[in-house]
């Protein structure tokens, strides 16, 4: 088989997408990186959050070398430093994207609308020619202009941050949630920083039992310590009296610190905080812009309801499979699986709704994919 360069389309200019692009380019492939926003768009949105993993776990030697070749002497945070998302983006992602090596590959402000294969459809009978058929990508630029791009390999690094889960039982919207959603914070909000004024002195429900919800609750507790009129109600689906698990000798100290503080707040339930595990939300009614909400459901199977001024839903995210619906890609309990030759799902999206993804997992996925691709091309 010929070893001619592959045309590689990378979807997403986030941490995993940029690393994948650098790796593919270093192997001589023709690379194009598409992102509907800016470099590290999702990281930018949660930039105020301190990362669990130290800086050294979030970067690769190849990425650092690519930057240092153009800016010798550039200093990075220490490998042991736990930086915020904003600091990580500014110290590493943006400099990597701005290198003369990678910048020509970027197609920012460009949305991938749909991906298919030339001459075949998802429902066609199995055909060995399918693997040889190039991918066709319908892309749309910021000005609305559309065009077709062609690729031999697609690396889907689009993540999950843009698609929050629904709040209601069974993974569907609660009654009223669709209409109320524009007034709800559906992802991490800087409640103790630039958005402090929106929450200080208000009654706030936080829905969710993971680390994002825990971080929000801890930040709101800080706000409440300064403004006693702030009241926090924390609703989780799980049955645990302590919402977050802790791990013996946890190597991620920031994760353990957050778990310890959140569990302490939930256990004490003093000050300005209520904690309600085993809660299902059945109804979420917005009374109007800045007019408050009615949240109703069941706590331990018993009816309960609250009238509050703010709602924050940190209930996790789900992958977007809409643009690849003509490919053999599906979501399972094990994550997002693909039976489409040449289409690879990397990064957080590969884990589906499992929030336990670490960037080093993505780096390992990249190495395995290109090792396998190289072996097939050499066969």
| Tens digits of residue pLDDT in 332-371 | 888 898 999 999 999 999 988 887 788 999 999 999 998 8
Say what the pLDDT of residue 378 is: 45
Q: How many domains does the chain have?
A: 2
Say what the pLDDT of residue 3 is: 67
pLDDT digits (tens, 9 = 90+) for 282-327: 999 999 999 999 999 999 999 999 999 999 999 999 999 999 999 9
Tokens 């990597």 appear where?
Answer: 96
Closest CA to 190 of 93, 354, 50, 288: 50
14-32 exposure pattern, b = at least 16 Cβ within 10 A, e = fewer: bbbbbbbbbbbbeeebebb
Whether 1 is covered by a domain: the verdict is no
For residues 334 and 296, state if they share a domain.
Answer: no
For residues 184 and 239, state if they share a domain.
Answer: yes
Q: What are phi and psi of 72, to 5 degrees?
A: -55, 140
Which three-class secondary structure string do you get for the chain? CCCCCCEEEEECCCHHHHHHHHHHHHCCCEEEEEECCCCCHHHHHCCCCECCCCHHHCCCHHHHHHHHHHCCCCCCCCCCCCCEHHHHHHHHHHHHHCCCCCHHHEEECEEEEEEEECCECCCCCCCHHHHHCCEEEEEEECCCCEEEEEECEEEECCCCCCCECCCCHHHCCCECHHHHHHHCECCCCCCCCCCHHHHCCCEEEEECCCHHHHHHHHHHHHHHHHCCCCEEEEECCCCCCCCCCCCCCCCCHHHHHHHHHHHHHHHHCCCCEEEECCEEEEEEEECCCCCCEEEEEEECCEEEEEEECEEEECCCECCCCHHHCCCCEEEECCEEEECCCCEEECHHHHHCCCCCCCHHHHHHHHHHHHHHHHHHHHC
End residue of a domain, out of 268, 288, 313: 313
Residue 267 pLDDT exceeds 70? yes
Band the pLDDT of 259: cuts 50, 70, 90.
very high
Query: What CA–CA distance (Å, rounded) separates 223 from 232?
Result: 10
Query: What CA–CA distance (Å, rounded) separates 77 from 54?
Result: 9
For residues 149 and 13, state if they share a domain.
Answer: yes
Say what the pLDDT of residue 374 is: 59
Mean pLDDT of 189-215: 96
pLDDT digits (tens, 9 = 90+) for 216-244: 999 999 999 999 999 999 999 988 788 99
Query: What CA–CA distance (Å, rounded) separates 122 from 116?
Result: 8
Band the pLDDT of 126: cuts 50, 70, 90.
confident
Whether 129 is covered by a domain: the verdict is yes
Residue 376 pLDDT exceeds 80? no
Instruction: Please classify residue 70 by burial: count the beta carbons closer than 10 Å to its beta carbon, then call 0-12 exposed, 13-18 middle and 19+ buried.
Output: middle
CATH classification of the domain holding 371: 3.50.50.60
Model's pTM, two decimal places? 0.92
- What is the domain range of residue 40? 7-161+318-378
Mean pLDDT of 64-78: 96
For residues 230 and 328, state if they share a domain.
Answer: no
For residues 13 and 44, state if they share a domain.
Answer: yes
Residue 2 pLDDT exceeds 60? no
Band the pLDDT of 375: cuts 50, 70, 90.
very low
- Spatial contact of 41 and 35, defined as CB atoms under 8 Å apart: yes
For residues 236 and 184, state if they share a domain.
Answer: yes
Mean pLDDT of the chain: 93
pLDDT digits (tens, 9 = 90+) for 27-46: 999 999 999 999 999 999 99
Band the pLDDT of 89: cuts 50, 70, 90.
very high
Say what the pLDDT of residue 24 is: 96
Whether 2 is covered by a domain: the verdict is no
For residues 150 and 173, state if they share a domain.
Answer: no
Say what the pLDDT of residue 200 is: 97
For residues 178 and 197, state if they share a domain.
Answer: yes
Say what the pLDDT of residue 309 is: 98
Query: What CA–CA distance (Å, rounded) separates 370 from 23?
Result: 8
Say what the pLDDT of residue 379 is: 44
């Amino acid at each position: 088989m010929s070893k001619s360069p592959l045309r590689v389309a990378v979807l997403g200019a986030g941490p995993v997408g940029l690393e994948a692009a650098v790796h593919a380019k270093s192997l001589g492939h023709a690379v194009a990186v598409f992102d509907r926003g800016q470099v590290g768009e999702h990281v930018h949105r949660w930039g105020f959050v301190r990362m669990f993993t130290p800086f050294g776990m979030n970067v690769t030697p190849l990425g650092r070398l690519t930057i240092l070749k153009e800016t010798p002497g550039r200093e990075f945070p220490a490998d042991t430093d736990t930086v915020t998302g904003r600091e990580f983006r500014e110290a590493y992602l943006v400099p990597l994207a701005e290198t003369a090596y990678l910048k020509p590959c970027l197609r920012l402000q460009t949305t991938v609308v749909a991906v298919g294969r030339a001459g075949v459809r998802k429902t066609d009978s199995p055909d060995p020619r399918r693997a040889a058929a190039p991918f066709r990508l319908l892309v749309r630029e910021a000005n609305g202009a559309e065009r077709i791009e062609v690729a031999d390999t697609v690396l889907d690094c689009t993540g999950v941050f843009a698609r929050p889960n629904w709040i209601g039982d069974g993974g569907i919207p609660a009654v009223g949630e669709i209409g109320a959603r524009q007034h709800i914070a559906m992802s991490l909000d800087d409640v103790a920083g630039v958005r402090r004024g929106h929450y200080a002195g208000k009654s706030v429900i936080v829905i969710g039992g993971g680390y994002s919800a825990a971080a929000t609750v801890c930040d709101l507790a800080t706000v409440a310590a300064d403004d006693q009129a702030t009241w926090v109600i924390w609703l989780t689906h799980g049955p645990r009296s302590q919402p977050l698990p802790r791990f013996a000798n946890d190597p991620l100290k920031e994760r353990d610190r957050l778990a310890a503080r959140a569990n302490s707040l939930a256990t004490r339930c003093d000050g300005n905080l209520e904690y309600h595990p085993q809660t299902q939300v059945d109804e979420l009614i917005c009374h109007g812009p800045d007019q408050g909400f009615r949240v109703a459901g069941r706590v331990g199977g018993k009816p309960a309801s609250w009238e509050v001024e703010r709602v924050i839903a940190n209930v996790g995210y789900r992958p977007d499979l809409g643009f690849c619906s003509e490919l053999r890609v599906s979501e399972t309990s094990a994550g997002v699986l693909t039976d489409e030759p040449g289409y690879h799902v990397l990064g957080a999206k590969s884990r589906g709704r499992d929030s336990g993804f670490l960037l080093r997992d993505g780096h390992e996925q990249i190495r395995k994919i290109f090792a396998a691709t190289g072996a097939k091309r050499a066969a």
